[in-house]
Amino acid sequence: MSYAPTERTDLSALHLQDRHTPLGLSGDDVVAMWRTILLTRRLDQKIWALNRMGKAPFAVSCQGHEGAQIGSAWALREGQDVVCPYYRDTGVMIALGMTAREILEAVFAREADPNSGGRQMPNHWGSARLRVITGSSPIATHIPHAAGIALAARMRGEDTVVVCYFGDGAASKGDFHEAMNFAGIHNLPLVAICENNGYAISVPLARESAVENIAEHAHQYRCMGMIVDGNDPLDVFAAVRGAVSRARKGEGPSLIECKTYRYLSHTSDDDDRTYRTPQEVEAWRKKDPFQRLKQYLIEQRLLSEAHEAELESEVTAEIEEAVKGAEASAPPEPAAAFRKVFARPLRPVAGVPAEYAASQEGIAPPASAAGGNGAGVPADAPVRTFIDTVRETIRGALAADDRVFVLGEDVGNRGGVFKATDGLVTEFGEHRVLDMPLAESAIVGVAIGAALHGLRPIAEIQFADFIHPAFDQLVSEAARIHYRSNGDFCVPMVVRAPYGGGVHGALYHSQSVESLFAHVPGLKVVIPSTPSDLKGLLLASLDDPDPVLFLEHKKMYRAIKGPVPEGVEWRVPIGLAEIARPGADATIVTYGLQRHLAVEAADRLAAEGCGDIEVVDLRTISPLDRDMVIASACRTGRVLVVSEDNHSFSVAAEVAAVVAEAAFYDLDAPVMRLATADVPAMPYAPALEGAVLITADRIADAARRLLQA
């Protein structure tokens, strides 16, 4: 047998002693616990039957896991503790207060589904009302969120405990190890519960883990580790109650491994007969948590036959009524598919079919405000370098708002590799300027969790080239949380990263990553070009309820200077481009360092008498200010798009497509692109880097060709 249950012969296994009273549970409590297991089991069976009848297209069974799920959830403080479940946790959700009707609304993908409004598959839980954080399909990505929430709770002086559930397969993922390491370093109030059923879909534990027990990882991360019989709800309750108590008293995180088993296939699309035997399943059914707790209640004379029949009747009626109501419930209207991409939408969603275009709501187009709020830099504003502006803006934000904190590699005593946070740890302390392990997924994942719990994190990725390990956190999690939760959650965080070449950084310190992330709905991408824009956009990003990727061209850090308004009131709206240089004969659309190179090239051509070129600085890559780009193209009739990113599938390609689509009949020449050739950027040798770089000379040459076209 590849995964066999452990035999127990101790007295407690025979139910001959009162085990619940020493745990602080009354007889009524244990009966209520069993009723919850009963409801979970019967509901799961009903959902599985609905799937086989063709009424529920997809089902995830929790049968066999109820003891681990309900025993653990019973130990939590309702309305205070926070839970990050995984997709099999039907029992956890019922124990926390989600009704059978609400669960079935998700099964039938109805508008009233409290988890996602029909946007996600069933069992992708989430409810701000129940303090259950929205979850996704990628495994283990939620564990860093739990660590971030635990960090935020402690920073806010709460005695909240965060409980995170996952399967044994998740313990193979880097996010599990990065999160547990972070929790151990900071002694966080986190209880991690592994529901180990012996299989990661079909892969047995021996093929997915080098250690026999997932809890063995606890000692690596300074956590309390425990292994419990996951099919004994009272054992699970005792272990989790102790771990929660330790966490609440500031004694650190725990990793609890519940040895359990799922009786059915991984999902309704799986066939477990291909990887396990009927004999193995039957051996585990003899340890069924449903039957074991029922037997305990009978032997303790807490459950009579009449009471059992009454509870069965109650649960059956509750489920049948829930099925009837959920089936009759309205599906989401089709137009809802295009809403709640952002918590603060600035532009209509691009590409919406015409019949739904009028249904978008809550759009607040960005606009420059009067009186020094993005309208103009005061004449007496001090002149600062780009990097000094980064530091002073963060300093001001930390001083003005206790919710703001910085986390990243080397941001503390080192002050960041570019000195963007120099001196801030001395001024604000290690809890506000947090040095992180070299683990980008943890940096962003912890920031997501902290943002979900009310803080305003600024996560620094040391170089944009190193952001790729956090791609899942940014793309699958941060960008989708508001949409997938039907607006129940938002992620107000900023991720800063220096990008770009020209500094002899070679292939892994020179990349331009903006197009990778501008493609992602739900993520705002900002690239400032001047010190005043940097300050205004960074502060606006901190105000924003959506995740913002804030990219800073590293060559500008000390090369670009400019006046910067004092104070923390200055704002430059996200989503609003700027005319950096007015002109009449052609338009250059660009951003970042290339704004300055384009203005230089335009001034040179004007001095030569070749033409008067307008330069449009996008400032925000996503959402794109299409209106300003199109208006400039229509005025001048010629457009050159300049980008340091690679030529193909880039921001430049998108801008060119927008212009060609919307301003074709106003153009006097085809749209031109000038971008880095499709080679890995940037090669190290000066001659090689020079051959690749976009320079003012190359921009001027391209503009001349455009003017002559």
Instruction: Tell me the pLDDT tens digit for each residue of 307-323.
Output: 999 999 999 999 999 99
CB 474 within 8 A of CB 461: no
**What integer pLDDT is reported at residue 14 of this predicted model?**
52
Q: Average pLDDT over the chain, rounded to whole?
A: 95
- The answer to whether the CB of 484 falls within 8 A of the CB of 134 is yes
Interhelix angle 66-73/233-248, rounded to 10 degrees, is 40
Output the CA–CA distances (angstroms, integers) from residue 504 to 109, 315, 559, 681, 684, in the order listed: 53, 69, 15, 10, 6
Quick check: is 217 catalytic? no
Q: What is the mean pLDDT of residues 102-126?
A: 98
Residue 8 — very low, low, confident or very high, per pLDDT cuts 50/70/90? low
Q: Band the pLDDT of 709: cuts 50, 70, 90.
A: confident
Taking each continuous run of H as one helix and of E as one strand, the counts in the chain are 24, 21
Torsion of CA 497, 500, 502, 504, to 10 degrees: 60
Residues 328-346: pLDDT tens digits? 999 999 999 999 999 999 9
pLDDT of residue 371 exceeding 60, the answer is no
Active site residue: 217, 509, 553, 596, which one?
509
Using omega within 30 degrees of 0 as the cis cutoff, is the peptide bond preceding 492 cis? no
Please determine, for residue 559, whether its predicted confidence score (pLDDT) is greater than 60: yes
Q: What is the pTM of this model?
A: 0.96
Name the segment(s) of the chain with CATH classification 3.40.50.920.
Answer: 578-708
The band of 536, judged by pLDDT with boundaries at 50, 70 and 90, is very high
Residue 627 binned pLDDT confidence (cut-offs 50, 70, 90) = very high
Per-residue confidence band for 10, with pLDDT thresholds at 50, 70 and 90:
low
Note the CATH architecture for domain 26-328: 3-Layer(aba) Sandwich (3.40)
Binned at pLDDT 50, 70 and 90, residue 121 comes out as very high
267 burial via Cβ count (<10 Å: 0-12, 13-18, 19+): middle
pLDDT band at 368 (very low <50, low <70, confident <90, very high): low
Residues 87-96 have pLDDT tens digits of 999 999 999 9
Rounded average pLDDT over 438-463: 98
User: Is the pLDDT assigned to residue 523 strictly greater than 70?
Assistant: yes
Q: Is residue 522's pLDDT more than 50?
A: yes
State residue 1's pLDDT score: 42
The residues near 655 (Cβ < 8 Å, ≥ 6 apart) are 589, 618, 624, 629, 641
Span 389-410, mean pLDDT? 98
> pLDDT at position 374, please?
43
* pLDDT more than 70, % of the chain: 97
> What is the full DSSP assignment across 278-294?
HHHHHHHHTT-HHHHHH
> In the chain, which residues fall in CATH 3.40.50.970?
26-328, 383-563
Place 369 in a pLDDT band, splitting at 50, 70 and 90. Answer: very low
The Cα–Cα gap between 619 and 271 comes to 52
Burial 70-105 (b: 16+ CB within 10 A, else e): bbbbbbbeeeebbbbbbbbbbbbbbbbebbbbbbbb
- Per-residue pLDDT band at 440 (split at 50, 70, 90): very high
Q: What tens digit of pLDDT does each residue of 458-495 get?
A: 999 999 999 999 999 999 999 999 999 999 999 999 99
pLDDT band at 3 (very low <50, low <70, confident <90, very high): confident
User: Cα–Cα distances in Å, from 21 out to 16, 17, 28, 308, 585?
Assistant: 13, 10, 11, 21, 85
The correct answer on CATH 3.40.309.10 for the domain covering 383-563 is no
For the segment 58-66, the average pLDDT, to the nearest whole number, is 97
- Say what the pLDDT of residue 375 is: 54
CA 436/CA 453 separation, integer angstroms: 19
Determine the pLDDT at residue 7. Answer: 65
Give the C-alpha separation, 561 to 654, whole Å: 30
Across residues 662-674, what is the average pLDDT? 97
Please answer whether residues 86 and 139 qualify as being in contact, where contact means their C-beta atoms are separated by less than 8 angstroms: yes
Mean pLDDT, residues 108-123 taken together: 98
Instruction: Average the pLDDT over 353-378 and give the result.
Output: 73
**Separation between Cα atoms, residue 183 and residue 144, nearest integer Å:** 9
Residue 370 pLDDT more than 60?
no
Helix (H) or strand (E) holding 443: helix 440-452
Q: What is the pLDDT of residue 107?
A: 98
CATH of domain 578-708: 3.40.50.920
